[in-house]
Amino acid sequence: MIGAAAVVPEPLCVLPEYASLADPGASWRDAAARAVAAVCAEGDEVVVLAAGTPSPHHSNAPAGLRVAAEYLRAAGVDRPVEPVVVGADATPTQCAALGAALADTPGRTALIVVADGSARRGPRAPGHLDERSFAYDDVWRRAVARGDHDALAALDAQAADDLLAQGRAPLQVLAAAAALDAADRPPPAVDVLAEGDPFGVAYLVATWTWAR
């Protein structure tokens, strides 16, 4: 079962290979590092879940896995992690199957979910402004803040795609993983560490922790 989960964003500017003189992602790295440290302390094993998008241009590991590795490094967590990649275009059904499989473990798994929201939240955003962003992001961020896995499972894949919200699939994997044991235990304690959209992309740093 899932013992704890962290939702962390995917700004590539936190990566050492994209370091600037300033550190524009510093506050997000700090918050995400606290979140991953907290959930790793709750898990017997650590799974990192990120969205993958095939690219004809490079063979790098999915950026979300690299971002998560940076958060773990910043947190001083030096443990083996199992990387899991879900296609950014995976259907909700595929996400549900993957989430159920991830949660079907005897011990307590710490799940680090690299996921964020619309990249179209303003004229300077990567995808410019799409007013639908605010409603979409309200839904998923409120769902995470309330520990509401059903609301995450119901996210609209088409809307997410339209809004460049690459975190939709990982969030739906999380929803299914959380749902697996939901009938047998109280809902998780939720801690929201940070929320914002500094670069026109909706970020959230939060943890879900189930009592032992």
The minimum distance between CB 63 and other proteins, in angstroms, equals: 6
- Is residue 166 near other proteins by the rule CB under 8 A? yes
Interacting residue with other proteins among 127, 156, 159, 182 (CB under 8 A)? 127
Scanning 51-59, 99-107, 168-176, 183-191 for contacts with other proteins by CB under 8 A, the matching segment is 51-59
- Is residue 63 near other proteins by the rule CB under 8 A? yes
Which DSSP letter does residue 57 get? Answer: S
Helix (H) or strand (E) holding 193: strand 189-196
CB 23 within 8 A of CB 176: no
Which of 86, 91, 13, 76 minimizes the C-alpha distance to 47?
86
Interacting residue with other proteins among 16, 22, 54, 80 (CB under 8 A)? 22
Separation between Cα atoms, residue 149 and residue 174, nearest integer Å:
8
CB 126 within 8 A of CB 12: no
- Is residue 158 near other proteins by the rule CB under 8 A? no
Report CA-CA distances (Å) from 74 to 21, 33, 45, 47, 64.
18, 6, 19, 17, 15
The minimum distance between CB 131 and other proteins, in angstroms, equals: 13
String of contacts with other proteins for each residue 83-122, x by CB under 8 A: ------------------------------------x---
Contacts with other proteins, residue ranges (CB under 8 A): 10, 12, 17-18, 20-22, 55-60, 63, 119, 123, 125-129, 164, 166
